[in-house]
Structure 1
Amino acid sequence: MRSIFALLFILGLFKHAFSEEGYCSAPSGLSTEAKSKPLYWKVDNPTLSPVHLIDLPGFTRSVYKTTHALISPESHVYGPLPDWSDTTGAYLISPEMGSHFLMYLAKLKDNSRSGLPLPGVERFIFVLQGTVTITNATGVSQLLQVDSYAYFPPNFEHSIESDALGTIVVFERRYSPLANHIPEPLVGSTDKHPLLETPGEEVHYNQHGLLLLEGQGIYRLGDSWYPVQAGDVIWMAPFIPQWYAALGKTRTRYLIYKDANRSPL
């Protein structure tokens, strides 16, 4: 897949890009309580906020600056998604803040069905909770469970449906054509990829959209340092200094977007 998308899963300083072979994992060391709950339950259940401030009007860890943003779960605002049925969504990253892509959470209910992206827009989805069914224009369907993903090229007819509760994270952006290449749909799961170790990066030209899936730690963005945890979303502008340290006894894992496979011009 030579899409402009490069979606990665990160564990500590190890990375995997879907455009390459490899995936990283490690023993989780998860507590008994965590194992009894859905894998990504903390995405919608923040625990980092101080208990005595949870009900304080106006309290949030969210931060927006011209070079980066931290969007924490307590500030997610859900509403109807255009052209989606029985689905609510929370837009987390959008061009209004300076990005060239869109990132949002979609909560599907009974008999939910997606709408299509705008013309010329490619889409990537990752399943956080429940199961969803994706169907193409010819009627071929596939079932996606937690940790499964799908990529849809621009103008590719498809639907995303669910007959029960489910949550997905969606990335969309306008496709940038590549000479002599036609993008193709892609479906997969993170457990289908072997381990791959790659060096860490701190300053580079790519934009990022990140969803912390598990764990907690400290994230450096520019001259600021933020405590972060599962459920936090981060937008990073090009060339902003960035660095992450995982803390605690559980593994850290996150999903990150960056533009790739194209010239910055």
Structure 2
Amino acid sequence: MGSHFVMYIAKMQDNSRSAPPPVDVERFIFVVDGAVTLTNGSDNSHSLVVDSFAYLPPNFQHSIDSDTPATLVVFERRHSYLGNHVPELTIGSTDKQQLLETPGEIFQLRKLLPTSMAYDFNIHIMDFQPGEFLNVKEVHYNQHGLLLLEGQGIYRLGDSWHPVQAGDAIWMAPFVPQWYAALGKSRTRYLLYKDVNRNPL
């Protein structure tokens, strides 16, 4: 079916500034290393450090500036408008997001964006202790873009098994069976894009 979002790593250098996304394209940034400053059209600025994030609605004037080297993971997609539902600028950090219940599972889950109909995707942070794993093999219509932030493990996609470690990225197409187990001696944390609230057809 192909991907309908873009996921990339942005390596910002000394005194660098982002360009705007195309018209009607929304943007999500997550700071992996270093620090950046987000400035919007009204000259309000926000400092974003490691594990901080920002969602920029489509056609929202902004720039991302870095005085020193920084690494961001960036998601962009053409926003799927739905009636009068309008997404808003959202800024936060992982440690400020509440842990959500995961019935039947043992991993820890945080959602970084509101779950209201205005948003056509969400970003999840999922934590696994060594030896923990998904209790079910998942199959669903959602697309995923995943970046392993910490630790190591093994990911199953279809009938293939992939050893993964911090820094590895995965794209998961709709309806591809998927499963994960954390290996090693330290926590696994990964960041996961998931399209939501829209009919996939």
Shorter-normalised TM-score: what interval? 0.7 to 0.9
- Of the two, which has the highest radius of gyration? 1
Deviation sequence 1:66-87 (CA, Å, 0-9, x none)? x8xxxxxxxxxxxxxxxxxxxx
| 1:143 to 2:79 alignment | no
Match of 1:203 among 119, 139, 143: 139
Match of 1:168 among 63, 69, 72: 72
Task: Report the number of matched residues.
Answer: 169
Q: Which has the higher contact order (CA 8 A, sep 6+)?
A: 1
Q: Distance in 1 between matches of 2:148 and 2:197?
A: 24
TM-score by length of 2: 0.82
SS at match of 1:110: coil
> Residue type matched to 2:142 in 1?
N
Offset of residue 261 of structure 1: 1.3
Deviation sequence 1:20-63 (CA, Å, 0-9, x none)? xxxxxxxxxxxxxxxxxxxxxxxxxxxxxxxxxxxxxxxxxxxx
| 1:215 to 2:151 alignment | yes
Determine the structure 1 residue equivalent to 2:93: 189
Whichever structure has more helix as a proportion of its residues is 1
Structure 2 unaligned residues grouped into runs of 5+ = 106-133
Identity of aligned residues (%): 72
Q: Distance in 1 between matches of 2:140 and 2:176?
A: 7
Offset of residue 194 of structure 1: 2.2
SS at match of 1:170: strand
Offset of residue 195 of structure 1: 1.9
1:56-205 matched pairs, under 5 angstroms: 98-198=2-102, 199=105, 202-205=138-141
Whichever structure has more strand as a proportion of its residues is 2
Runs of 4+ in structure 1 displaced over 2 angstroms?
A: none
| 1:241 to 2:145 alignment | no
TM-score by length of 1: 0.62
Give RMSD over aligned pairs: 1.2
Match of 2:161 among 202, 225, 234: 225
Offset of residue 248 of structure 1: 1.1
Q: Distance in 2 between matches of 1:197 and 1:188?
A: 20
